[in-house]
Chains A and B, each alone.
Chain A
Amino acid sequence: MKVAVVGAGPAGVRAVEALLAHDIRPVWIDEAMDGGGRIYQRPPAGLRRDAKTLYGFEAPRATALHAALDAAKPHADWRPETLVWNIRPGQRQLSTLSAGRQGVVEYDAAILCTGAMDRVVPVKGWTLPGVTTMGGAQIALKSQGCGIGQRVAFLGSGPLLWLVAYQYAKAGAEVVAVLDTTRFATKLAAAPGMLRGPATFAKGLYYIGWLRAHGIRIAEGVTPLAIEGAGSVSGISWRDARGGVHRVECDAVGLGWGLKPEAQLADLAGIPFAFDAAQHNWVPRRDAAGRTPVTGIYLAGDGSGIGGAEVAEVAGARAALALLQDAGRKVETAALDRKLASLGRFRVALEKAFPFPSHLAAGLPDDALFCRCEGLTVGELRATTTGPAIPAPELNRAKAISRAGMGRCQGRVCGAAAAEILAAQLGCSVAEVGRLRGQAPVKPIPLTATP
């Protein structure tokens, strides 16, 4: 049986481990130089910080995952630095690109563990050098030992906002402001539910408490106004919950509002998507074990709906067992199923504590850029609903008219915000406005490498 696993983050590692334990040797593909995923990304050779310094409270998990990764690599057909740029579910083929050469991987069954990226809301000035995603700011520090600037502001909402601000301050960067767009009362209301995950909740409180104790400026319930600067970042301004306007000088801004699935391959595989209201993301349809409506395709980890690294590890193993069950093997799944159900309940509370700020995207001024790839403004997107003879009733028509989502990132960065802007303009829900459909190649590849 030919099995392919795409991705070597927490889900991919545990999926491969489970397959190997049942004598299946998968082709294992990851786009990065090394496995570990974004959360447990290891620095390149030459950087020597230990796991405790790199991963903090998560060091034991990171170390365990790295051990499993390193143990599995020699036994699988391990292919790092390889992009899967298309999937042909009819032919059961993956199209790959590695070191400029294209290839094809045949599979009978495939587990897609494609991970997530930051969910961002555009802010005026967000294309200036010095602005990165929250995840990007964390990767700079973790994987490269660098801060994104000398005086850094963080803007957004969610657990990563506090974690990254804490990591920067600990590493010696000057954190000039932590700007949370969620009001304190919203987080407080979700606190009882968060007690379902007491360890995670306690860590979050620790980071916030540490930042407060170190006198770092924190503002909650803010509305970002602009990232300012000529040629690079020189400051950020915002409006507080009572309407007062503030500004701090800084040379870098990290921003992000939680994560969104990198589910392009699931899309190309033909898996239907549904809008998950709790996490406010479009997610590919799968059952709790990772089975999808497309025979032979299984999903696990954040690429199948945001659940975090701990869930991803369990889900990766569970998806591998689902694959084995469907191949007629006898496997024991009750413990994994119980664990997944329990972790899922905490996630719901977390999403309530950090809701996606739809109003920020919808309220952007017409002259703000929302598409980094092609320099499209919010006004140009709004005009698709009124200007053309056949106005856009949903996102893909707006894409055809305006090119929103047709740039080099293929809507990864702008898609979530574009949907909010359009929904507000049309007076419908973001679920009704639809999602940008995926197209191959899922990332740009050289013309010379195409078949």
Chain B
Amino acid sequence: MKLVRLRDTDRATLHLTLEGSGLAALEGDTVLTALLAGGAGHLRDSEFGDGHRAGFCLMGACQDCWVVVEGLGRVRACATLAKDGMKVRRG
């Protein structure tokens, strides 16, 4: 899944890592936006073997966008703001 930036693109750049690789995002991005606009493709794998997942409701209800952020633990990517220097692993 690739989120496409359509509006509000003139924002300061943030630098995160996903599984150790660098990823650029914009100030005000959620972790979900940072990852999926930054080319991560997906956020987690289903524990039941049915493939990749990349969130669904984007409003903190479905729990399908869990990722792990160093220092915060497991979070919902859609409900967590991206910060410069964040180290993220897929959930």
Contacts and interface: CB of A to CB of B under 8 A. Distances in A.
Interface in A367-416: 369, 372-375, 407-409, 412-413
Contacts of B52: 128-129, 231-232
B59 A46 contact: no
A47 B54 contact: no
- Give the interface residue-count category, chain A: 35 or more
A227 B53 CA distance: 14
A38 B1 CA distance: 23
Query: Looking at chain B's contact residues, is the secondary structure mostly helix, strand, loop, or mixed?
Result: loop
Interface in A285-313: none
B7 A145 contact: yes
B20 interface: no
Given A47-B11, A231-B52, A409-B63, A146 B5 contact: yes
Interface in A312-369: 369
A132 B8 contact: no
A45 interface: yes
Interface residues of B, number: 45
A140 B65 CA distance: 14
B62 A146 contact: no
A140 B2 CA distance: 12
Interface of A: 31-33, 38, 43-49, 53, 100, 117-118, 127-133, 135-137, 139-141, 144-150, 171-173, 231-233, 251-252, 262, 369, 372-375, 407-409, 412-413, 443-444, 446
27 contacts: A32-B79, A43-B8, A45-B27, A46-B8, A46-B26, A53-B7, A117-B57, A127-B46, A127-B51, A127-B53, A128-B52, A129-B1, A129-B42, A130-B1, A133-B59, A135-B57, A135-B58, A136-B55, A146-B4, A146-B33, A231-B41, A232-B41, A232-B42, A409-B62, A443-B63, A444-B63, A446-B73
